[in-house]
Chains A and B, each alone.
Chain A
Amino acid sequence: MTAAEKAPLLKLEGITKTFGPMMANDRINLALYGGEVLALLGENGAGKSTLMNIIYGIYHPDAGRILLRGKEVRISSPRDALHLGIGMVHQHFMLIGRYNAVENICLIDRSRAFSYFDKKKVRASLEALKEQYGIEVDLNCPVEQLGISMQQKIEILKLLYTGADILILDEPTAVLLPQECEALFSIIRNMTGQGKGVIFISHKLDEVLSISDRVDVLSHGRVCGHMKTAEADKNQIVHMMSGENLQDLASFEKKSPSREVVFACEGVEAYDDRRAKTLEGVSLKVHKGEIVGIAGVEGNGQNELAEVLSGVRKAHAGKLTIQGTELSTKNPESFIRQGIGYIPADRNTVGTVPDFPLYENWLLRKLHFPGKYGLIDQKALQREAGRAMEEFDVRATGFWARSANLSGGNLQKFILARELRKNPRLLICSYPTRGLDVKASYFVRSQIVAAKEQGAGVILFSGDLEELFSISDRIVVLNHGQVVGEKLPEESSQEEIILMMMGEKA
């Protein structure tokens, strides 16, 4: 019996939700059957999160019906949703770091304070669930000591424990490595094999095509495409999502960089915030007009390296030079003065101050501001920010908008505009397209490529191997705070880089 012949597990009819003048969901119809994976695709702001929050009881629809196993239900809180067998794994995990998996799950088990936890019983049923769905995770270790993929598994286990048979996974692979994704996919297959329905939200097309049975595409709050994965075609989906063709989005011309070294570091050592040594002698050279991609499993020193190279973190040892001038991490401002631009991985609290209006955020990491007698000329500042926002297509209600209210893509464009307007000699980009949709990612990449063509050296940290291959001139692999190898993208493959990331010397 195929999935489509059964009655749907969950059915949405005409779901509409507005926020002020914005229509987040516009008469959305959707059906999820038991035993299938329904992928939900869409750009940022297409209305995916809103729709999921409606199903999960965080928002109430203005109109429309939710039918669960054929019966209309009203879901007014996440607790209701859990009762009805709907569970959601959020992008940010809802776990208490000091507790282990069993304790975390005990927390949701009973709502009364001072009730008695039967940890043994919970543990036994978790063990059974682990077995049943092939989930391998340590139940005894405090979750803060576990990796992100393990925490995700605990979240899934938590939902299975509550008996959820509709599971919503919100961009579950964004934080995972390629091989960890495989493990997750096999868990998902085990779940659908036992009749559960899974809604899988993602930006990554390849993943969607490999895991889902059907695909729904959302755009501007509406379902604009609806297909079986087996019959779907990548180009067609991208076109539906954004109205652009895949070819335009993926290809970048590569010009050979010059021989002139613009930036070099030698034997850089540094500690992370917990005072553990994370960089153990990193040496790098960046030429004029070259993009050096840095690949590595998350937590192998990329963040610290990006921070040291941009002057934000103190180096414990090593030498940094920009076109022959030596830099000291004791003086962060000198990095800015020497023309080093930095796009930090965290755009919300590092790249901008969330409570500042955009024109004030325009002043961050700037040494000069418009004005006389040491007083900032607000009008001139606003004009300057406004012009750049127009040029970089930053969509906001104006330069008065607080940066906390901008979407990820627009905020990233804003930060990019700020750094590129200074014509940096070296641009350091840390995960510049993380969490951005296809179109915004393309824009960011093309701006980085444009900066390189104008002669800037670029260091690109990225977790997206496709991105690294498509725009870098050279890929350097980092493992345990050391450079373990260097490859030219045209002479290497993603598989080879992954092996190097795992620590195999090239």
Chain B
Amino acid sequence: MKSIQKLLILLLSVAAAMLIGSLLILASGANPLEAYYYMVIRPLTSVNSLGEVSMYFTPLLLVGIGVSFAFHARLSNLGGEGQILFGALGMTLMGISPVGDVLGIFSLPVGCLLGILFGILWAAIAGFLRVRFKTSEIVVTLMLNYIAQQIISYLVFFPLRSGAEPQSEKIACALPKLSSSSRINWGVVVALLLTVAYGVIMKKTRFGFRLRTLGGSEKAAVYSGVPVGRYYFAAMAISGAFCGLAGAMQISGNTMRLMEGVAGDFGFSGIVVAMLGSLHPVGLVIASLFMAVLSAGSVTMQVKTGIPTSFTSVLEALIVLFILLGMALSSRRGKHRKGGKA
């Protein structure tokens, strides 16, 4: 009953957002059906375009999982972008350094680990401040994004710059491809395996259980003997680890170079994924696929109908608003019903 209601809210939110979206499309003089066809259906019709979808899918799923870890402990990690950038930096440093040549094929996994480590580092700042000084992790993670952006800008403009463009050298270690006819690579498989791991951890391990307890009621967690500070910190760090890995894969599977804007919108879209997937592993996969299709399709849409790609951000924002609205309304009704039983 409860989960059906939730699913209904999610589906209605998507529908409502697309409805309002179609008004916007109409207003800009295009045919909504045509626009949505290029945005939602077209990307699924060829192997090549599915490869494009996967370029969005992997980072969205990884960031979505990361954000979900934090959400479970009732923490909001809005710092996905900064953590992705730092993860990307970790991978780049490995990929362009002479150490990479020494490590050979191991430079890819080591680069990923370095990216994860950098992501953890960046998220841990917010985790530490939250645990030690009770600062809002929302504000801190958000602000850290800007700092990360500036650091990466500085790096690609000066120390790491190669050539005329503000970008780093091409890295030596690339993620192996899954098929020769599209850009799809092994990152997708890794992300899906990690989704399974995420599901098992949350549902079946003591750590996951305690994390959820903490999110459900901090006082109950204290009562239950959970070292609350350590768990808040861990939730934030793991969140950063996933975003860091997303960054590392963004470099090794997509751009091959560190540059400004390598994090795209994934930091925030990951939050949408977590909410739309309601933190459930299967939900996260479906939500990231949906969002990835929108993002990949928006490019074709722009070419064919003239609707700018930024229209996807509008859709995303509308979806989030409707989910929040639906949740708020249904929980208010729920409270009323509960009052009746007392």
Contacts and interface: CB of A to CB of B under 8 A. Distances in A.
A128 B80 CA distance: 61
Interface string B214-238: 0011011011110100000000000
A104 interface: no
B200 interface: yes
Contact of B217 (A354, A367, A371, A376): A354
B339 interface: yes
B216 A405 contact: no
Interface residues of B, number: 24
A311 interface: yes
The majority secondary structure among interface residues of chain B is helix
B220 A349 contact: yes
Interface stretch (A286-294, A328-336, A466-474): A328-336
A355 B225 contact: no
Contacts of B222: 312, 332, 350
A365 B216 contact: no
Contacts of A336: 225
- Which of A360, A364, A375 has the largest number of chain B CB atoms within 10 A? A364
Q: How large is the interface on A (under 10, 10 to 19, 20 to 34, 35 or more residues)?
A: 35 or more
Interface residues of chain A: helix, strand, loop or mixed (majority) = loop
Interface in B169-205: 200, 203-205
A354 B342 CA distance: 15
Interface in A327-356: 332-333, 335-336, 342, 344, 346, 349-356
B327 to A, nearest CB: 13
Nearest to B216: A353
A378 B204 contact: yes
B152 to A, nearest CB: 39
A300 interface: no
B342 A364 contact: no
Given A311-B225, A336-B225, A346-B219, A19 B200 contact: no
Nearest to A408: B342
Contacts of B209: 360, 363, 376
Contacts of A342: 223
B206 interface: yes
B56 to A, nearest CB: 32
Contacts of A185: none
Interface in B307-342: 337-342
B213 interface: yes
Contact of A364 (B203, B223, B337): B223
Contacts of A353: 212-213, 216-217, 220
A99 interface: no
Nearest to A17: B340
B217 A350 contact: yes
A77 interface: no
B22 to A, nearest CB: 36
**A-B complex: 5 closest residue pairs judged by Cβ atoms:** A353-B216, A333-B225, A375-B204, A364-B224, A350-B219
Given A354-B217, A376-B204, 9 more contacts: A19-B337, A22-B341, A49-B339, A53-B339, A333-B225, A352-B217, A376-B203, A376-B205, A407-B341
